[in-house]
Amino acid sequence: MGAKKASPDLLNSSFSFKSLKLKTKQQELLLRVSILGLVYVLAFIARLFSVLRYESMIHEFDPYFNYRTTLFLTEKGFYEFWNWFDSESWYPLGRIIGGTLYPGLMVTAALIYWTLRFLRFFVHIREVCVLTAPFFASNTTIVAYFFGKEIWDTGAGLVAAALIAICPGYISRSVAGSYDNEAVAIFALLLTFYLFVKAVKTGSLSWALGSAFGYFYMVSAWGGYVFIINLVPLYVLVLLITGRYSMRLYVAYNCMYILGMLLAMQIRFVGFQHVQSGEHMGAMGVFLLMQVFYFLDWVKYQLNDTKLFQTFLRITVTSAILVGGIALGVGTASGYISPWTGRFYSLLDPTYAKDHIPIIASVSEHQPTAWSSFMFDYHILLFLFPAGLYFCFKRLSDATIFIVMYGLTSLYFAGVMVRLILVATPAVCLISAIAVSATVKNLTSLLRTKQKVPQTGSTKGVGSSKSSSKVTLDQSQPFQKNGAIALLVGVFYLLSRYAIHCTWVTSEAYSSPSIVLAARGAHGNRIIFDDYREAYYWLRQNTPTDAKVMSWWDYGYQITAMGNRTVIVDNNTWNNTHIATVGRAMSSYEDEAYDIMRSLDVNYVLVVFGGVTGYSSDDINKFLWMVRIGGGVYPVIKEPDYLVNGEFRVDKGASPKMLNCLMYKLCYYRFGELVTEYGKPTGYDRARGVEIGNKDIKLEHLEEAYTTSNWIVRIYRVKPPTNRL
Amino acid sequence: MTDHTTLPHRFFLSISLLSILAGSQPDLTKELVSLRSSSESGVIRLNDDTVSKFITSVATPRPYSLIIFFNSADLNSNPLQEFLSEFAFVSASFIANNNNNNRSDVANKLFFCEIDESSDSESFGLFGIQFLPQICLVDPLMENLQDKTGRMEEEDVDGTAESVLEFIESRTNLTVGPLRRPPLLSKTQISVIAALITISAPFLIKKVLNGETIFNNNRVWQYGAVLVYFFSVSGTMHNIIKGVPMFVRDHQDSNKLVFFYEGANFQLGAEGFSVGLLYNVVGLLLAYVSYALVRVRNVSEQRVVMMLAMVVSLLAVKKVVYLNNWKTGYQIQTYWPSSWH
């Protein structure tokens, strides 16, 4: 009002000021959007530690394969990529790449790359690959916000977005450089779930369609889609059991299942498995059950007579169960429905893998989870989760039932395998966010009403309530206020500890590329070991282009991607026998191993050795797995031969077989001459803290070709056979 | 010259010996078969007399092998009895697989026996058994019963029928064939259960339609959910898969029990459960305070409970964080801006 009397200048300024002054709702919107924007940025930058500390590079093992295929895709185009037969890996078998991978990640990265090129940003494909994971993590926070909004309210959505942005359980798989399927898969997973929940809530075909496409993206990106195709039917089944069947559910599930299935079958790696393998049968069963429910509903509507309907019901249910049972029996017996795969089976019967499949049990991320790992990855979310569960049960709806089921099933699976903590993370964040949001909301509203009471006196709010409760409310006011403040402080303290924990964990534990190793020197300075890349570049520069390199399967992808040489086995573990052959060669005596290597045309052998640097995940520490996997196919290899009283040793007390097997010789060749630590004898292995047992190693059929500066990678050349006259 | 005379002599001797063998030993085999048929699983209970009758007093190329399980009822050990029943499975499977009309000669080559220390300790001394469980194969040529070559090796004895089967098949050239474990439920049990289900099905369906089942009870789901959560985060799956004990005895002091294991990737049973309990206590207290406590009328009660809840939560969180730091060896620090230093 005062603006009218002011000068034109002031009027202008006050006008703009006035227009800036927002209504409460707009203010709230602005706040929400800016919080979300900040969370979006936070999720991205929290994942850049590794780039800042090292450089922009691809991490670990599997991402190198993804990088190599993406490179191929951007260079040769999609058609070539889809039909690519790769002769550089799994020599002499080769690998049909297009039919044995989930192309979602590569196509996504290539699309981003092409878009950027189109916009005239000429970036290298590697940069796109490195930053794909953080970018999708940021997108996940947005989905988490909408999901939280759907199951609870906007507050819970915001908290969920903030929690998931820095949750170590998710960061562990999505730092810059970890260019792996999970990077986009978690986004796709959460998106599918969100769209499905939305579809169930609204009963709209368009949301269901959206969720089907989300599912398609998930299938194209990661084998973990099996979790979706089992959780969603399970959820539908629970809704049916608890009497929550509705037309909305019918529309949502049928559309999602049928379309999702048809789309998923377009991925060659999945193909007809989607209607044949046992893992997908639950979804189909629930689909049929839905039809039965719908049919019964329709008949009930037509019949009007309850007695008639009861009889009808009995007949249909019995015959339906009978037909289903027979169909399942016939399908399994005739082999049309294939039994469950080992990986999936090991989730349901956790002891299965340990006893039957060493190749699955050997991978460290397939180990069962101890409580400290949960604590490490979730921190205070673990305390908040039960409270969130309780809140969900107090306000039960189709959406909260879903999130509870998602949380509990995924946590069970996370308990079986460490890597599945990743799948559980969104659910844990969402449920914990409900707890935080509901608590904070309750407490602050308590604080606010206290402030308002003296002002409004006994007008509307308090006057309408009963007089008796009014008295108690008035009496408890001062205390409740204090209590609420104390609780709020407690909650914020916990949340700040969470932020500190997450930052620290991200920086210290999850941001090492594992291709470049870092250690602290004696003076606290950081020492970088770049031996892997040194070795791979040596291979690229100094060996014939058609050379075949034998190594343990962990390094296969890296050798093909960075060294550009053919490998015998790699991280795609589809052929157990081939891996076992390499395991057998590594655990045999040199002359036996030589025959195996000759039969595989091996030119170079590469081993990873940590005895000089104290790097503990080297081939000697992995050696027992080579023996186990080798022994699983070739019974001549027996684990007890390499152990002394059940103990794995490399010092003088080691078993003679151990001291003379190929792996031992290649790792410790010339090591007996070396002093690694002051005050220790020569040949002191720092990774295992012992003096080695065989210092005088002679090689007959192999010769040392290259050893990196810190001895981490050692490459040997296989000598051609001597002339036979 | 002497050679010439002794050779026919020896020949004659061995012929007569063989004829004795041929004459007397089918009887022993028959006796064993009849003993076997009197036992349900086919495991023959040997005592001191029968040991000498079937083993020690028979000349060495015996026409049969015996595989003996050394048992002790006095020990009252559950694993041992379970192992014995596994042993009995193998025996029953062997007989069932080989006792067809054309293969009964195979079935009569090997007999499963059991010697109990509590009643027949003499035989135990004869075999020189020092510890249990032990399984010994007495092959046709074995003379010195104390000989360790017939024993199943200590690391192979793991209490399963499969290990026994493997032992037998590696030492004799007999095949046991597929193990025929008795089904979990006998046929009568299955038919009773099926009958029960069919009878109750109409009632159940009615209940489902009316929404009166246990699944419609909110509480059941609630408690179930908390339980599932508790078992998941306390690392129960880890305990099951790795077969971890609840606690171990200290190496130095055997009276002291160790409940907590230092090292990030491993845990003992009890520590997981105690930490899982702490998680749940804090979470459920939070839920209780914000949902149930506000309805309590008595103000002082409210205050006391709330204070208690806050103190308990604080202690629980501190304890868990302390334990985690101790277990993993990590020390979480804050990153301050470098200008603040």
Cα distance between residue A707 and residue A702, in whole Å: 14
Burial class from Cβ neighbours inside 10 Å (0-12, 13-18, 19+) for residue A348 reads exposed
Asked if the Cβ–Cβ distance from B238 to A368 is below 8 Å, we say yes
What pLDDT score does A460 carry? 34
CA atoms within 13 A on the CB side of B235: 29
Which two tokens mark A719? 């000598």
Question: How confident is the model at residue A335, as a pLDDT?
Answer: 64
% of residues, chain A, pLDDT over 90: 51
DSSP state, B52?
I
Of the two residues A147 and B321, the one the predictor is more confident about is: A147
Contacts of A238 in chain B (CB under 8 A): 215
Strands B248-249 and A647-648: unpaired
Q: What percent of chain A has pLDDT over 70?
A: 88
User: Which residues does A441 contact at the CB level (< 8 Å), separation at least 6?
Assistant: A153, A155
For A677, the token pair is 């630590």
**Contact call for A387 and B216, based on CB within 8 A:** no
Q: Do the beta carbons of residue B67 and residue B110 sit within 8 Å?
A: yes
pLDDT in tens, B32-51: 888 888 887 788 888 888 88
Residue A183 to residue B121: CA distance in whole angstroms: 67
Query: Contacts of residue B266 in chain A, CB cutoff 8 Å?
Result: 370
ipTM (interface pTM):
0.80
Instruction: For residue B310, list chain A residues with Cβ-Cβ distance below 8 A.
Output: 486-487, 490
A386 pLDDT more than 70: yes
Confidence of residue A55 (pLDDT cuts 50, 70, 90): confident
Quick count: other Cβ atoms within 10 Å of Cβ A337? 19
| pLDDT for the residue A551 | 93
CA pair distance A282, A261, nearest whole angstrom: 13
Which chain B residues have a beta carbon less than 8 Å from that of A507? 335
Q: What is the pLDDT of residues B132-166, one digit of tens each?
A: 777 888 878 777 777 777 777 766 677 777 777 78
Q: How many CB atoms neighbour CB A187 within 10 A?
A: 28
A472: nearest CB among B218, B297, B328: B297
pLDDT over 80 (residue B25)? no
The terminus-to-terminus CA distance of chain A in angstroms comes to 112
Assess whether pLDDT exceeds 70 at residue B68.
yes
- The DSSP call for residue B251 is S
> Per the CB < 8 Å rule, is A242 touching B216?
yes
Under an 8 A CB cutoff, do B275 and A375 touch?
Answer: yes
Q: Report the relative pairing of strands B110-116 and B43-46 from DSSP bridges.
A: parallel
Q: Which of A353-362, A446-455, A567-576, A652-661 has the lowest mean pLDDT?
A: A446-455
pLDDT in tens, A516-551: 888 877 777 888 889 999 999 999 999 999 999 999
pLDDT (tens digit per residue) in A107-138:
999 999 999 999 999 999 999 999 999 999 99
H or E element, residue B279 = helix B269-291
Whether pLDDT at A461 is above 60: no
- Looking at the partner chain, which of B279, B286, B328 has a beta carbon nearest the beta carbon of A376? B328
Whether the CB-CB separation of A670 and A681 falls below 8 Å is answered with no
Beta carbons of A383 and B279 less than 8 Å apart? yes
* Closest CA of chain A from B19, distance in Å: 44
Own/partner contacts of A112-121, CB < 8 Å, gap of 24 or more, are A113/A74, A114/A74
List the single residue in B206, B238, B265 with the smallest CB-CB distance to A415.
B238
A711 and A705 Cβ atoms separated by less than 8 Å: no
The mean pLDDT of A18-30, rounded to a whole number, is 81
Average pLDDT value for chain A:
86
pLDDT for residue A358: 65
Cβ contact B233–A501 (<8 Å): no
Q: Which one of B232, B265, B310 has the shortest CB-CB distance to A411?
A: B232
Q: What single DSSP character describes residue A639?
A: G
Six-digit token string for B22: 């041929």
Q: Using the beta-carbon criterion (under 8 Å), do B265 and A373 form an inter-chain contact?
A: yes
- From the list B238, B283, B324, the residue facing A387 with the nearest CB is B283
Q: Does the pLDDT of residue A337 top 80, yes or no?
A: no
Q: What is the pLDDT of residues A299-317, one digit of tens each?
A: 888 887 778 877 887 787 7
Per-residue pLDDT tens digits for B116-128 = 877 777 777 777 7
Give the model's pLDDT for residue B155.
66
Question: Do residue A490 and residue B213 have CB atoms under 8 angstroms apart?
Answer: no
Of the listed ranges A154-163, A197-206, A612-621, B87-96, the one predicted with least confidence? B87-96
The yes-or-no verdict on residue A691 having pLDDT over 60 is yes
